[in-house]
Each structure stands twice: as structure tokens, then as C-alpha cells.
Structure 1
Amino acid sequence: MKRRDLLKAVLPATLLAAGVPGLARAANPAANAGPLVRARVRPGAAGWPSAAEWDGLQRATGGRLMKLESPFAGCGAPDSAACRALLRNIDNPYFIGDTPALTQSSGWQDAWVSRPSAYAVAAHSASDVAAAVNFARLHKLRLVVKGGGHSYKGGSNAPDSLLVWTRAMNRVEMIEAFVAQGGAASEAQPAVSIGAGAMWSDAYAEVTTRGGRYVQGGGCTTVGVPGLVQGGGFSNFSKRYGTAAASLIEAEVVTADGQVRIANRHVNPDLFWALKGGGGGTFGVVTRVTLRTHALPEFFGAAFGEITAHSNEALRTLIDRFLAFYLDHLFNPHWGEQVSLRDGKRLRISMVFQGLDGAQARAVWAPFLDWVRADPNYTLKEPNFVAVPARQFWNADFYAKHAPGWMVRDDRPGTSNDHAVWAGDREQAGIYWHGYQSTWLPASLLTDAGRARLTERLFDACQQWDVELHFNKGLAGAPDAALAAARETATHPGVIDAFCLAIIAGGGKAAYPGMPGRDVDEEEARARGKAIRGAMDSLRQAAPGAGAYVSESDYFEANWQQTYWGSNYPRLLGIKRRYDPDGLFTVRHGVGSEDWSEDGFTRKA
């Protein structure tokens, strides 16, 4: 197809006829940039597109442009049938994801609240995405990208913007022998191609339940696939398979100049590297990812239990003994997920395992549990060890028959049978965050001297707020191949030496603006946020300067460039300025966002 014919497919004819500058393709995307945009245009301001221009975008996208408003705008009568139906579904993350004007979190105290864009393009193809990108660039609009909409920091949320909504681009296709563009036949490997709007429930259903393979993805089934990959991406079993970013073989991406590009290690290798952990919504709109797949073990499984300490000294001893036990018995590719310190006295076990059956998993824990049972300073809620055929791990039909309540289906009429969520994750639907902190803890803290320091810091932190240790979100203890692949990503290098990611967070019930019954006690929310920060300040004393996981971290992080990417940041910034010199893709604490105001509408001097 000739270049002008392609442009006709994605741009309004009126723009082409006008000979708009900046449309010529160049080897260097920066060559397409004109004078730097100093301010984005808001509705009602000079330069906001006319009705005719919006109609042009409507035609260019095949009628997929929609004007957005909050679904709660129709709840003037809270007792109406429509409003009751809306409130009935607001704790269903699939419903939230299917509503372009909503985000999976409803906001963050003193940070952001979920407000819809002015317009959205419900993209069905890369050409739809390109049309939206070109339109936003030419009209100086704020552009937002939403797949799963799970950004805790509001990255898929911006009022007065144009939204690229990729939900319908959800095709998942397994490929027996994939060769990246520009690669040799000898590089062929089993892979899966996943569209921009697919969630991990879609991917696991096709790859694992039906295909008998494993793809490294997210623990929460409603998270969008490309967003997780661009953030780095951890799953239940990262200690065995590494990160989702490291599993990326190839991406299709629409860059700021409106071009549809392929990025892999042969073609646009710098962009490819940046997409592997450089942050979602930062370098372009990813329209498709191709990830390597792996053979399944015989079993995946889980272990649940709880230990209550009857004194502070007993809790200190429990923390120390568990850390020693973890180092000797769990610090390996078999074990993932978390333990948490709750209410300043309990250690809750919520771990998963792979490659072991239930009896083998129980045997691993026997020495530690025998010690707990023998000590009257503790009460043990006996752990439950459950192993299931790995192929059934994300199969809601299997759990409905064998373990009712473990997974909760999207129960709306006509929805996909593959769409279910872990029961414990559903509580985050619509959550209004009070605070969220994370830090990687290096494996050196598991040694004798380090463990004493870490024990004291964990004890002090959990007296202020609950602390979660996510072992699958640190790669120390993973196989050499997984570590080597992670080193080739843009994720903070500290993840390699971290045995876990510590998370301290909390929030309240859904509080979307305009929502009937929305009741935010701001004073209480701020107090809770302060307590969360205080707890993390205590814990960070064990490992000052450790990095944090960009997708699960503090909205107010001051030193975010170093905290999220460490020594990788200068390289990322150079790639950003090459592919997006005008900062079209600007998200909270994304690469290059230091050039823009808090709301992303004004470039700093």
C-alpha cells in the first residue's frame, strides 16, 4: 500500500488536503516533530477541535469515536433501575473494565480521582490507534491510553483528554514456532500473540487451560496484558519464569508520529528494550505483544495458614525464625506470592508453589510448623496445602466443581466464560487509595547480620500498618536463565538481587465522583496514608535507597527516576526523546514526565 493510501485510512481527508506538516515518515521519529508544544488544549479553549474535525476522526476510525461522561451522571435518582444496576455491578472488575469512563481504582487521597476523558476511540485495530494518535498530536490534545485501566496512579485517567481505549483488541493466538521480524529461522520458539485489550484471564484461558502451556503474566486476572509487560510484570510464579517484560519477543506499537512500528531485538531494538519495563503509556500505544511460552509443570498449588503471636517478643522471634526458614527452604523457584504481618501480631501465609504436589509442599513446611506447634507463645491456624493440575489453575469451571468460592465469575449475561477473578482480588474493584508504598528488599538481608536488622525493621513497621512480603516480585533465587533475561530489560536492576517486594498499602471502598453514597472521610484517609508512609519509612531503614516497582508504588515518590529505574533512567530518557520528543505520551512519573506540569497540560520552561 502506498504511503498516502495508508494515511487516507487513518486520517480525516480534511487534514491531508490541508497538507498538515509533520506527517512525513523519517528514520528518526524526532524528525517528525515541529516546534515543541508548550500547552495542551482543553475543551472550550481556542484550538479545541470543531465538531467537523471530530466528525473527521469519527469517519477515520469507522464510527468508533464516542463522547464520554461518568456513568453516575444518570444517577440523579439513586433509586432508579439504571442506577441500582450500576451500583450492583460496581464491585465487578470486568464491568469496570468494560466501561470506558471508569478506572479500576476510583482515586487516591489528595492525588487524583477517576474522571472520564472528553472523547474516546474504541480502537479495533492499529490503524484506529494511529488515527487517534495523529489527531491528538495535530490538535495538541492530552492523550490517554487505557487497556485494563489498573493504574494505581491514574495513568489511564485524565479529564479533558482523548482516550485510546483498546478493550476490543483482545485476540489471543498461540504460535508453535514464532520468529521475530528480522530474525533467523533458528530463533523459532513457542509463543503467544496477544492484543492490546486482552486481560490475563484471556491469555491464561487460551495458553494454559486450552493450550497446555504457560505464559508469564499477572497474578490478577483483570490486569491488561501490555500494561503489565511495560511495567515489568510479575506473576505468582516469577521466581521460576522471571518477569513478563523479559518474556517479550516482539511488540507492535504506534509511536507519537502515528507510525505503526515493530520492535524486537532486530528491529527498533532501543524501543524494544524501553518497552520491557520502561513504564506503560510512555513510549507509544502498544497494540500487540508476542510473549514466549513455557512447558507446564504437573502441578500448581497454594498454601494458606496463620500464626498468632501472644507477645511482642514472640512476634520478633517468629519473624526471625520465618526469615531463616524462608532462606533455607523457600528461597527457590518453587515458591511465590506472600506472607503478611497483620494487626501487629499475626503472620499470615498466602503462598503458591509450582512443580510440587500437596504432600511435597506440606513436607517442606513441616520443620517450621512443628516448631510453632511446640511453642505455647503461638496459636497456629493449620495451613491448607492444595495442589491442582497446572492446566486447571485458571479454570473457573474447575474451581466451581472442586473449590467453590476460590474464583468469582463475571456473572453478567452474555459475558465470556473465561472471565473470572480470584475472590481475594475482587475487593480492589473501585478501591479509593489512602496510601501505597513498596520497596525491594535485597537477599543480603536474609543473612545473619542482615536478618537481625530486617527482623527489627519489620517488627517496627507492622506495629504501624500491615506489611506484605511478595516473594514472587523479587528475582533473587530464580534460575540463571530468568535472571539473565531480566538483566536485558529496563526494570530497576535492584530486582535481580531482591528476594521480595515489600508492600504497605491501604484504601477504602469505591468513591467515584458523583457516585450515590460516596462517603470519603478525608481526615481519616490522610491519617491512614500518614501511617502507611511511617511504616514504610521504618522498613526502609533496613535497605536505604532500594528501588520500588513502578506499577505498585507511591504516587508522591520524590526521587522517582532513581527509585523506579535506577541506572537505566538516562538510557530510557534518551529513547523517550527520540521517539516522542514532544511528550505526547505523558503519565504520572513516566519517563520524561519531569518536562510537564502535574496535570500533563503545560510544558515546563
Structure 2
Amino acid sequence: MVNYCTILALALGVLSPAFALPSRPHSRPHNASCRYLPTDAGWPTRADWDRLNNTVGGKLMRGEPLAQSCYPSFEDAAKCAQVRDGWGSNSLYYDDPVAVMSPFWLNNSCNPFLSSAGHTRACTLDNVSSYAINITDAATVIAGIEFARQNNIRLSVKNTGHDYLGRSTGKGSLALWTHNLRDVSVNMNYTSSKYSGPAVKIGAGIAGGFSQNGGYGQLSSLYGLAADNTLKFEVVTTDLRHLIASPSTNADLYWALSGGGSGNYAVVLSQTVKAHPDGQIAGATFVFTSTNTTSFWSAIQAWYRLSPRFNLIPGLSASWIFSSGLFRLTAATLPGGTASDMDAILRDFYQAAQELDMAFVARKTIVKPSFVELYDTLVPPSRADSSFPSNNTIGSRLVPARVVQDNLTALLDVYRRILEDDTVPGMIAVGGTSNNVSHANVGVEPDSNAVLPAWRDALLSSSAAVSFAVNTSIQDLQFIQAKVNTWQDWVKALTPGSGSYINEATYDNPDWKLDYYGNNYERLLRVKEKYDGNFTLWQHTSVGADMYWQEDAEGRLCRV
């Protein structure tokens, strides 16, 4: 029997009705043009929150800082130690209803490493949501939306994964926590006007915002981006309708949700995606190092010169990362390939690197009967948190083949300038992922979804990131953010007309409309206005973000 798995899986996250709540503070006057914060007189009363909790069957949770056990009044040495051990990892945040996987957006408001003597910062929620509803169905979403609108408070949608843009939180917000929507059902005979074949319906807690933002991975060169594989969405709109969005029903909403940004047009409960047969897959990984700077960069140049060939090999994907003196091929994958096939693809590079006296470490070619087995070998689950930590800031840019072919020297000069920036308090790395997701290669019709058009012409997604210490100050986090923006602009100057992958981007890019949505923006805005005309859902750099709300100095959403 053929084993099927979803493209997302293949590609690479109570209080009782009588719970105690603080009394409503009264430090600010009523201001209906702004969403209320807990310090405002209009903030919901304890009785209001009690009624909401009853409505949702006890699924309302009060937001609590993850590290409050490290601070006075809540001190718990054992619990604090556990939080400190996991602070830089991802797993700590998966099951928390309000804490986001981003130190920049947590704003060090309750950092467990800044609670010792000499640090006077208090433990507060700051940017983090004040309350969350554990979403279990459409009714709990509707209750949350109604409450937020009736009480003039901010609404946010939080799922599971990383969030570099601060989209899944908001000061004083009520979070719709969809993490626990994790049902999976298989339909081997899904039939629609656009697709017939195996499909899998997955809850939003599994799907996350991955496909809504495009979604790439090690199988994208074979099957396309995650958004290319969506068949339909189950959603709740902010006017309280429970809808299906597909190519034939609410097609405009389906189009926008398939790559046009997450958590902005409607609240997704589930999505149905194509399923593909698993099978034999070849993979390769290696590390090379050198203390000879000239030879090291010559080896990197050889790698990038080879990369345009990758897009000519059906199904081949590759991802890599390098810093000064060390280059790691995280994974090269070839579905249906053999060890000989993979070695042949990399042979020219191996020869060039060896001639430059590169020292290879952990170089190996692997063949496994399934993708999951291969990926778990290349990136073991036990190493996943340390390989992809939460304490980092990242920016990206899609690089067309012409840049690598015609202007490689300038591109590598930019990478070298980034890595040699000694003003940054953290470890700098440059990364790349090569996928051929052109319309012709993955069999997707132009304009069939809202994926950023620059993806279709890209040779690779280029990124620059800083991993920083768990006790990095707010001032340094802000400095790092500014640096990553600068680096992103350096690559942008070499790639006019291209764009950036929104899941690996910066919130304060002044060109966000063009860079993150391209010429899809105006069409996406019409969808936003149709399904969320009151802009109940608001996020940084989301479509329409500059039209209705803006954050004031205290983080309060106010009318533009």
C-alpha cells in the first residue's frame, strides 16, 4: 500500500467560570477611536470576562508571562530553572496560549535572565495578549470576535510557530489560540473542478500560517509551495460567517488565503491539501571549514556558480547556511534519487572545494525509503531546537538566477560585508534555499493563488540572520533589527523587482507592500475590505495595515 502524507508534513506547530481576574483599572479616559488597553477605563469588567468564559465553556485563559516564576511574588526556583533551560528553544512556546516565539516582540518584558540582582525591570505582559480563548470550533471563534468588537479590544490570532513580524500577538489583545485544532482526516478520492485524488484535511493547529504565506520546504521543487497544494479552507469571517473557501466557493477568499498572508482575511479553522505518494529519496549533507579566508570564499563562489544547475534537476532542493570560515549544507534532497544520482550532482563542487583545500566534516550521502526518515536523519528532532532557535532575527530576499549568473561577485561581496560586521551583538549567518517553484515546473496556473510572484522567478531564497544571547538587552535587540533591515536592503539593491518571503522578513520594511505581496497587493486589499471591512484583524505588514489602525507609543491600536 502506498503511504500518503500531506505536503505540509513533507515540507518542514482552563479556567473555571469562577476564575479570579484583576479589577478594571481606571488610569485613562474613554477614547472610542482606539482599542482599549487594560489601563483604560473602558476595559472589560471582571463580570464581562466571566460571561465570555461561560459562553466558550470555560476555554478562556488569562495571559501570563512565561517567566513570571523567576520574579518576586511568583517565585518558583524549580519552574524558573525549567523556563531558563528552554528560553532559547522553540518547544517552550508551542503549548503556551499567548507567548510568542520572538524575543524582539516579547520585548524582554519578563525575561528570566534579567530577574537577578542588578536588573530592575518588572515582569509584565507588555506586547503579549492579555487573554486567549482555546479555539475548538467555529462557535468559540465567533464568541471571541463578538466579544472583541462589542468591548472595543484588539483581536489577534495565535497558532504555534515562529513569528518575526509580531503578527500573532498584540498588547491588550484577546488571542484566538488555534493551536489545538489538530484533527487529521484522509480522503483518498477527493474530487473538485480543479483536482481529483488523495487529500488530507488538517486542523489549523497543524497547518498554521505556513501555506497562507506561501510555505516552502525540501519538496517544493517537486510539488510546489504549500500554497500551491491547498484545495479549500474552512474559516470564520469577522462578520461571523462560517464559510468554505475553495476555487469554486468564495473563490476570491480562497485565492487570498493561498499565499496572501495569514490571520488577516478570516480565521482559519482547517484546510484541505493535496496528498502525495511518499517513496525513496536521496539526501546529502556536509560541512566544510577553512582558516584561509581567500580559499573559503572561493569555495563559496564555486557553490553559488553551481546553484543555477539545481533548478534544472527535477525535484532537487538544497538548503545551506554559512558564517565566517564554516559552510554547512543542511540538506540536499532528490525524491526518487539514488546515492549515485546525488553524488553526481555534487561531484563538480566536491572537486573544486578539495582543490581549494577545504576540510570536509560529516560529509555523507543518504538514501531512505521515506522523506520523514531522511529529514529526521539530516536534522534529528533532538537537534531541531538548537538548529533553528527562537532567539534570532532574520531578513530574506528572493534572488533570481540572473543575479547569480551575471552579478555573483557583487552578491558575495554583500554576504561578506554582512558576516564581517563586528558591531552586531550576536552570531551572524547567511543562508540559502534553492527551489524551482516556477509555474511550469510545479504545474500551477498563473494567478491561481496569491503567492508573491517573485517566487516564480527565484533561483533561491537568501537570508541573513543574527542569533543572540538569551539575556540580550532591548537596546541590542532593536539594534539587531535595524542591522537586519540594512542587510536586507543591500541584497534588495542587487535584486530590483524581486521580493522577500514574508515568513522570514522584517516588520518595519518601508517597501513591505511591494516586497511581500508584489502586484497582488491591490487585489488582496479588495478581498480584505470585502471579508473584513471593519479591519477587526490587524497585523504589522498585513494587507491594509496602514489604512485603518496604527499603534501609538503605548502599543494601543488607534484609528489612522
What TM-score bracket applies, with the shorter chain setting the length? 0.7 to 0.9
Q: Displacement, 1:153? A: 1.6
Match in the other structure for 2:54: 59
Is 1:462–1:535's contact at 8 Å kept on the other side of the alignment? no
From 29, 43, 54, the counterpart of 1:48: 43
Alignment of 1:547-566 (within 5 A): 547-566=499-518
Q: Distance in 2 between matches of 1:373 and 1:272?
A: 50
Which moved further from structure 2: 580-589 or 329-338?
Answer: 329-338
Count the aligned residue pairs.
503
Matches within 5 A, 1:101-500: 101-107=98-104, 115-179=127-191, 183=192, 187-198=195-206, 225-308=207-290, 310-312=292-294, 314-328=295-309, 331-343=312-324, 345-355=325-335, 356-376=337-357, 378-381=358-361, 383-390=363-370, 392-393=372-373, 406-408=380-382, 423-426=383-386, 428-431=388-391, 433=392, 435-447=393-405, 449-464=406-421, 465-472=428-435, 475-476=437-438, 480=440, 482=442, 484-485=444-445, 487-500=447-460
Q: SS of 1:589's equivalent?
A: coil
Question: Equivalent residue of 1:281, what SS?
Answer: coil
Give the match's secondary structure for 1:154: coil
**Structure 1: how far apart are the matches of 2:360 and 2:387?**
26
- After superposition, the Cα gap between the structure-2 partners of 1:195 and 1:89, relative to the gap in structure 1 and judged at 3 Å, is same
- Structure 1 distance, partners of 2:140, 2:480, is 43
Structure 1's 456 and 296: CA in aligned 2 closer, same or farther, altered over 3 A? Answer: same
* Aligned 8 A contact 1:92 1:426 in 2: yes
Paired residue type of 1:129 = V
* Secondary structure of residue in 2 paired with 1:128: helix
After superposition, the C-alpha distances for 1:510-564 in whole angstroms (9 at most, x for unaligned) are: 4xxxxxxxx3245554554455444444333321342111111112201111110
Identity %: 25
Q: Does 1:539 align with 2:503?
A: no
Which AA in structure 1 matches 2:260?
G
Q: Is the 8 A contact 1:174 1:192 kept in 2?
A: yes
Change in CA separation of 1:394 and 1:451 when aligned onto 2, cut-off 3 Å = closer
Which residue identity does 1:553 align to in structure 2?
A: A
Task: In structure 2, give the amino acid aligned to 1:192.
Answer: V
Equivalent position SS for 1:484: coil
How far off is 1:320 after superposition?
A: 3.4
- The answer to whether the Cα contact below 8 Å between 2:286 and 2:363 also exists between their aligned partners in 1 is yes
Q: Structure 1's 47 and 79: CA in aligned 2 closer, same or farther, altered over 3 A?
A: closer
Question: 1:598 maps to what in 2?
Answer: 551
For residue 568 of structure 1, give the secondary structure of its aligned residue in structure 2. Answer: helix
TM-score between both structures, scaled by the size of structure 2:
0.82
**Are the aligned partners of 1:282 and 1:585 in contact in 2 as well (CA < 8 Å)?**
yes
Q: Distance in 1 between matches of 2:327 and 2:80?
A: 41
Q: 1:393 and 1:307 mapped to 2: Cα distance?
A: 27
Residue type of the alignment partner of 1:131:
A
Measured at CA, do residues 481 and 530 of structure 1 come closer, stay the same or move farther in structure 2, by a change above 3 Å? closer
- TM-score (ref. length: structure 1): 0.76
Does the C-alpha gap of structure 1 residues 330 and 545 become closer, same or farther in structure 2, counting only changes over 3 Å?
A: closer
Shift of 1:491: 1.9
Q: Deviation digits for residues 233-289 of structure 1, max 9, x if unmatched?
A: 111221211111111100011111111111001110001011011111111110000
2:98–2:129 Cα contact (<8 Å) kept: yes
User: 1:509 & 1:374 partners in 2: Cα distance?
Assistant: 37
User: Mind listing any 5+ residue stretches in structure 2 that lack a counterpart?
Assistant: 1-31, 110-124, 422-427
- How many angstroms apart in 1 are the aligned matches of 2:127 and 2:389? 16
Other-structure match for 2:84:
87
Distance 1:149 1:159, change over 3 A: farther
8 Å contact from structure 1 (residues 239, 332) kept in 2: no
CA drift at 1:154: 1.6
**Shift of residue 481, structure 1, vs aligned partner:** 5.1
Distance in 2 (alpha carbons) for counterparts of 1:547 and 1:483:
22
Task: Provide the C-alpha distance between the structure 2 equivalents of 1:381 and 1:341, rounded to a whole number of angstroms.
Answer: 14
**Distance between the aligned counterparts of 2:449 and 2:148, measured in 1?**
30
Q: Specify whether residues 107 and 263 from structure 1 end up closer, same or farther in structure 2 by C-alpha distance, changes over 3 A only.
A: same
Secondary structure in 1 aligned to 2:444? helix
After the TM superposition, which of the residue ranges 77-86 and 566-575 deviates more from structure 2? 77-86
Asked whether the 8 Å contact 1:309–1:346 carries over to 2, the reply is no
Structure 1 residues 167 and 455: alpha-carbon distance in aligned structure 2, compared to 1, 3 A threshold: closer
Q: CA deviation at 1:494?
A: 0.7
Distance 1:443 1:172 in 2: 38
1:91-111 deviation line (CA, Å, top 9, x unaligned): 553332111132122225989
Kindly indicate whether the alpha-carbon contact (under 8 Å) linking 1:122 and 1:165 is maintained by their aligned counterparts in 2. yes
2:531 maps to 579
Pair 1:192–1:509, CA change in 2 (3 A): farther
Shift of 1:387: 2.2
Q: Does 1:99 align with 2:107?
A: no
For 1:67 and 1:383, how far apart are their aligned partners in 2?
49
Q: Is the 8 A contact 1:325 1:368 kept in 2?
A: yes
**Larger displacement relative to structure 2 (452-461 or 275-284):** 452-461
8 Å contact from structure 1 (residues 430, 509) kept in 2:
no
Question: Shift in Å at residue 357 of structure 1?
Answer: 2.4
Q: What is the CA deviation profile of residues 289-318 of structure 1, one whole-angstrom value per residue up to 9, with x for unaligned ones?
A: 000011223125232222537243x34533
Give distance in 2, aligned partners of 1:456 and 1:82.
47
| TM-superposed deviation, 1:507 | 3.1
Q: Secondary structure at the match of 2:157?
A: strand
CA contact (8 A) 1:96 1:104 kept: yes
Q: Please give the alpha-carbon distance, in whole angstroms, between the structure 1 residues aligned to 2:386 and 2:40.
A: 40
Compute the displacement of 1:331 (Å): 4.4
Which amino acid letter does the alignment assign opposite residue 407 of structure 1? Answer: P
Mapped to 1, the partners of 2:48 and 2:461 lie a distance apart of 48
1:333-381 per-position Cα deviation (integer Å, ceiling 9, x unaligned): 33324233421x44332222122223321232122212322344x4444
User: CA separation of 1:500/1:487 partners in 2, compared to 1, >3 Å: closer, same or farther?
Assistant: farther
Note the C-alpha offset of 1:82: 2.8
> In 1, distance between residues paired with 2:287 and 2:99?
35
Alignment CA distance shift 1:137-1:578 (3 Å): same
Where does residue 466 of structure 2 map in the other structure?
Answer: 506
- 1:497, CA displacement in angstroms? 0.3
Q: Is residue 339–residue 349 contact of structure 1 (8 Å, CA) maintained in 2? A: yes
Q: Is the contact between residue 136 and residue 178 of structure 2 (CA under 8 Å) also seen in structure 1?
A: yes
Aligned partners of 1:50, 1:523: CA distance in 2, in Å? 35
Whether the 8 Å CA contact 1:487–1:496 is kept in 2: the answer is no
Structure 1, unaligned runs of 5 or more: 1-36, 199-224, 409-422, 511-518
Q: Please state how far the C-alpha of 1:488 moved relative to its aligned partner.
A: 1.9
In structure 2, the residue corresponding to 1:197 is in which secondary structure? helix
